[in-house]
Chain A
Amino acid sequence: DADVTQTPRNRITKTGKRIMLECSQTKGHDRMYWYRQDPGLGLRLIYYSFDVKDINKGEISDGYSVSRQAQAKFSLSLESAIPNQTALYFCATSDRGVGAGDTQYFGPGTRLTVL
């Protein structure tokens, strides 16, 4: 789904470095999410945003921060990367739904390795 893009797709960095992962979408969706995926742990929510002025912590927000620069852009930052933040990171979007829930559209993922 080319409507949700992530940059970079792969990144290797060192402990203590600041890293920013970027997500852009052309779907016009209000809601954006950042997840990390680890083997055997599934997808865990880091942060989510329902509009430009709204930022919410997810299950595992410690060590991460986000910025919603525009409706279409949602960035995830690791202020001081550590090895256990090595994971596959996914951005996702969803539209404002009527009633319960809505389809989430995922980006292609960013594979981050912290040495």
Chain B
Amino acid sequence: GENVEQHPSTLSVQEGDSAVIKCTYSDSASNYFPWYKQELGKRPQLIIDIRSNVGEKKDQRIAVTLNKTAKHFSLHITETQPEDSAVYFCAASLNTGNQFYFGTGTSLTVIP
């Protein structure tokens, strides 16, 4: 099956700086890549996603890039704020099965 690796496992940034989280996947058939944010004690919630026919997608301060050739995708958060502090999970999904394979998560801390 698919294997998704996520780095780094922890990340601390100063408020206002940018944060980048990277994921790699193993199955070239994967074609949907969502990112979920999980605040402490809360459920994961989708923040942005990208499909394999697109190289980049932006939504205000967050963006995701996808490199299909290298089989990696990244989450970029600009102008970080304390409320961005959370655990972020990447995931990959195959078209036919709709199973989601999650990365192991990145704990982001934004220091005021």
Across the interface, do A42 and B104 meet the contact criterion of CB distance under 8 Å?
A: yes
Across the interface, do A40 and B100 meet the contact criterion of CB distance under 8 Å?
A: no
Query: Interface of B with A (CB < 8 Å)?
Result: 1, 6, 9, 31-32, 34, 36, 42-46, 49, 51-52, 89, 91, 93-95, 98-105
Chain B residues, Cβ within 8 Å of A109: 43
0 or 1 for each of A5-44: is its CB under 8 Å from B? (1 = yes): 0000000000000000000000000010101000011111
Across the interface, do A43 and B99 meet the contact criterion of CB distance under 8 Å?
A: no
Chain B residues, Cβ within 8 Å of A83: none
Across the interface, do A59 and B31 meet the contact criterion of CB distance under 8 Å?
A: no
Which one of A41, A58, A94, A102 has the greatest number of beta carbons of chain B within 10 Å?
Answer: A102
Chain A residues, Cβ within 8 Å of B52: 100
A100-B52, A101-B51 known; A43 vs B98 contact (CB < 8 Å): no
29 of the cross-chain contacts (CB-CB < 8 Å) are A1-B45, A31-B98, A33-B100, A40-B9, A40-B104, A41-B104, A42-B6, A42-B102, A42-B103, A43-B100, A43-B102, A44-B102, A45-B100, A45-B101, A99-B95, A100-B31, A100-B93, A101-B31, A101-B34, A101-B49, A101-B51, A101-B95, A101-B98, A104-B36, A104-B100, A106-B43, A106-B44, A108-B42, A108-B43
Across the interface, do A103 and B102 meet the contact criterion of CB distance under 8 Å?
A: no
Main secondary structure of the interface of A (DSSP, over half): loop
Within the complex, the shortest CB–CB distance from B7 to chain A, in Å, comes to 13
Q: Does A74 contact B (CB under 8 A)?
A: no
Give the A interface residue count (CB, 8 A).
27
Chain B residues, Cβ within 8 Å of A103: 34, 46, 49
User: Bound state CA distance, A61 and B101, in angstroms?
Assistant: 15
User: Bound state CA distance, A12 and B22, in angstroms?
Assistant: 36
- Enumerate A93-115 residues with CB–CB distance to B below 8 Å: 94, 97, 99-104, 106-109
User: Bound state CA distance, A103 and B34, in angstroms?
Assistant: 8
